[in-house]
Amino acid sequence: MENINLGLACLGIGIASLGGALGIGKLAAGAFEAMARQPEQSNAIRGSMIIAIAFVEASVLYSLIIAFIVITK
C-alpha cells in the first residue's frame, strides 16, 4: 500500500488511452465513410484525418507525461 502512486499512474494512463482510442476510432469511421461517398477527394480527406489524429494523440500524451513524472519521483 505504500507504493500506490505507481499503480494509480498506470490506471490513469490506461483510462487516457481508452479515451484516445475511442476518439481516433470515431474519427477514422467518419473519414472512411466520407471517402466512400466521394472517392475523388480522398487525398484531402486523408490529410485532414491525419491532422485531427495528431490532436487527439496529443491529448493522450499529456497524461503520459504526468505518468512519467509520477513514476520517476
Partner 1 sequence: MYALIKNLVDFISNFTNHLNDFLLFIPVIVLAVPIMSPFKIVPTRTQSIIEIIYEFLEDQILSLFHKKKDYKRWMPFFLTIFYYVLILNLMGLIPGMHSFTADLSFTATLAVMVILVSIGAGIYKNGVVKYLINLTPTGIAPAMRVVMFPLEIISLMSKPLSLSLRLYANMFAGHTVIKILLSLTEIFTTKLILPFDIVIVTVMMLFEVFVCFIQAFIFAYLSAVYISDSLYQESH
Instruction: Name the site residues for partner 1 (rule: CB under 8 A).
Output: 50-51, 54-55, 57-58, 61-62, 64-65, 68
> Cβ contacts of residue 67 below 8 Å, gap of 6+?
9, 10, 12, 13
What's the closest the beta carbon of residue 21 comes to partner 1, in angstroms? 16
What's the closest the beta carbon of residue 6 comes to partner 1, in angstroms? 15
Residue closer to partner 1 by CB (options 34, 60) is 60
Checking 44-52 for CB contacts under 8 A at 24+ apart, the result is 52/27
What's the closest the beta carbon of residue 1 comes to partner 1, in angstroms? 25
